Amino acid sequence: MKIIIAGCGKIGVSVLASLAQEGHDVTAIDDDSSVISELTNVYDVMGVCGNAVDCDTLMEAGAADCGMFVAMTDSDELNMLSCFLAGKMGAQNTIARIRNPEYNDSSLGFMRQHLELSMAINPELRAANELYNILKFPSALKIETFSRRNLEMIEFKLSDESDLVGKTLIDIRKKYDAKFLICCVQRDDDVFIPSGNFTLQAGDKIGLTASQAEMQKLLKMLNSLRRQAKNILILGGSKTAYYLAKMCEASGSTVKIIEQDEARCLELTSLLPSATIIHGNGAEQELLMEEGLASCDAFVALTGMDEENILLSVFANMQNVPKTVVKINRDELVWLARKIGIESVVSPREITSNILVQYARALENSSGSAAVETLYKLFDGKAEALEFIVKTESKLTGVMLKDISLKPNILIGGIMRGRKTIIPSGVDMILPGDRVIVISSGNRLNDISDILK
């Protein structure tokens, strides 16, 4: 598919790289010639230097016949106008990054309708949602949700004392009276889609699928269930911090934000009257201790500097803070953070890239037997979890799962039928209209039929 990315900052480049890796015909637009030169040298993409709202620039980039136009500049208004113009020229689908909280309320639907936007995406709000899910369920390193939260997938790490260590998956399913499935395991740098005879080891990161109630039931049996974080310290007063604080306060948590910029502190004080806003340099360990780091339930590092977020999260871990979460955008630093013991990492770039890869696959497969509804990258991109809505004509319907021949490294991790959540066994079937979760490693899936040998 022909895709245009207008605006090649950090998130724009991440989206461009992901879509180019998927094999799409990608063209980049940016007003900085050095950025365009670097992108065309590093990635297999075309580049056009110019203004994203200039009709000649859009025409040169091929907006008239592109399947997807994505505006990711730093200006919400420029993104909306650029998408509007590209749509009028002939772009089939237009997606704008819209970050301003003032636009992300009831007026967003009005703007989407009248600007004819296919999608509006707010990386900071999406990141805040992921952070909030982790703070609600601190036992998890990461939480992904499917089918309007009817089914969850959580990642967590097995400690030396875990009851699961040394047991096969068959033994675990027999022992614990909960409906769940261990569908993905990361051991060091290797990722496995495990069979029933797979034996878990200490240090493994496992991906579990279950309904929310069954997940809590299982973790309680494993003595791994921890209460929701109620006393939260946030470092950095970014848009992500604002969205997260609103979510946490709505659920009854107390929030304290440390921000270095005085003007931003005053703004946050007005926007978040129930939160405590501290003007100061959060990189100073003494200030963190004075503001209650050692007694908080969770520390969330959201400054604009990945390195600072990592270092101060390490310091929080040294103070035995029960839950530490860090925002990191650079892929190479995500790996480093995990090597030094920071397990819960959220990346707005990765979240945005996943959404747009999912959207592109859904467009490619609009006439297939199942539409891609959700896509998540798991374990640093080494595996994927996809949610498909199965159509009547699918070859998979009405056949027992034990009779379906799947490609290697693929597992059906869950089936949602209306409001019913099914953790599948060999005698279950897929029916038309089901939402099916597929876990895959080393396979690019556009259609649910791609799982067949």
Residue with tokens 């400054």: 303
Q: Please tell me whether residues 26 and 109 are part of one structural domain.
A: yes
Q: Is residue 85 part of a domain?
A: yes
Are the CB atoms for 400 and 431 separated by under 8 Å?
Answer: no
Q: Please tell me whether residues 111 and 13 are part of one structural domain.
A: yes
* SS3 state of residue 194: coil
pLDDT digits (tens, 9 = 90+) for 390-429: 988 888 999 999 999 999 999 999 999 988 999 998 999 9
pLDDT digits (tens, 9 = 90+) for 170-181: 999 888 888 899
Q: Is residue 140 part of a domain?
A: no
**Four-CA torsion 443, 446, 449, 450, nearest 10 degrees:** -20
Q: Is the pLDDT of residue 24 over 60?
A: yes
pLDDT confidence bin for 104, thresholds 50/70/90: low
Q: Is residue 158 part of a domain?
A: no
Q: Please tell me whether residues 11 and 110 are part of one structural domain.
A: yes
Q: What is the pLDDT of residue 372?
A: 80
pLDDT digits (tens, 9 = 90+) for 253-296: 999 999 999 999 999 999 999 999 999 999 999 999 999 999 99
Residue with tokens 């926007």: 271
Tell me the average pLDDT across 242-246: 96
Q: What is the pLDDT of residue 369?
A: 61
Residues above pLDDT 70, as percent of the chain = 98
Residue 282 vs residue 364, higher pLDDT: 282
* Global pTM value: 0.89
Mean pLDDT (the chain) is 91
* SS3 state of residue 190: strand
Separation of alpha carbons 166 and 201, rounded Å:
6
pLDDT confidence bin for 368, thresholds 50/70/90: low
What is the chain's alpha carbon radius of gyration, rounded to the nearest angstrom?
Answer: 23
Residue with tokens 């520390």: 299
Q: Is residue 276 part of a domain?
A: yes
Separation of alpha carbons 205 and 210, rounded Å:
16
Q: Is residue 191 part of a domain?
A: no
Nearest alpha-carbon partner for 157 in 423, 347, 350, 345:
345
Tell me the average pLDDT across 325-349: 88
Residue with tokens 């310290």: 233
CA triplet 14, 145, 187: central angle to 5 degrees? 70
Residue with tokens 């703070």: 135
Q: What is the CATH number of the domain that holds 445?
A: 3.30.70.1450
Separation of alpha carbons 163 and 132, rounded Å:
28
Q: Please tell me whether residues 366 and 308 are part of one structural domain.
A: no
Q: Please tell me whether residues 273 and 379 are part of one structural domain.
A: no
Q: Is residue 333 part of a domain?
A: no
Helix axes 76-89, 107-115, angle to 10 degrees: 30
Residue 7 vs residue 218, higher pLDDT: 7
Q: What is the CATH number of the domain that holds 91?
A: 3.40.50.720
Q: Please tell me whether residues 304 and 371 are part of one structural domain.
A: no
DSSP count for the chain of H helices, then E strands? 14, 22
pLDDT confidence bin for 102, thresholds 50/70/90: confident
Q: Please tell me whether residues 64 and 8 are part of one structural domain.
A: yes
Q: Please tell me whether residues 289 and 376 are part of one structural domain.
A: no
Separation of alpha carbons 420 and 211, rounded Å:
9
Q: Is the pLDDT of residue 431 over 80?
A: yes
Separation of alpha carbons 364 and 389, rounded Å:
15
pLDDT digits (tens, 9 = 90+) for 287-316: 999 999 999 999 999 999 999 999 999 999
Letter for the amino acid at 328? I
Number of domains in the chain: 3
Letter for the amino acid at 312? L
Q: Is the pLDDT of residue 111 over 90?
A: no
Q: Please tell me whether residues 363 and 292 are part of one structural domain.
A: no
pLDDT digits (tens, 9 = 90+) for 68-78: 999 999 999 99
Residue with tokens 């034996």: 199
Q: Please tell me whether residues 238 and 284 are part of one structural domain.
A: yes
- HSE on the CB side for 273, CA within 13 Å? 1
Nearest alpha-carbon partner for 204 in 243, 156, 239:
156
| Domain residue limits at 392 | 358-451
Nearest alpha-carbon partner for 14 in 37, 43, 41, 34:
43
Q: What is the pLDDT of residue 314?
A: 95
Q: What is the pLDDT of residue 367?
A: 57
Helix axes 10-21, 348-364, angle to 10 degrees: 40
Are the CB atoms for 436 and 370 separated by under 8 Å?
Answer: yes
- Which of 274, 292, 321 terminates a domain? The answer is 321
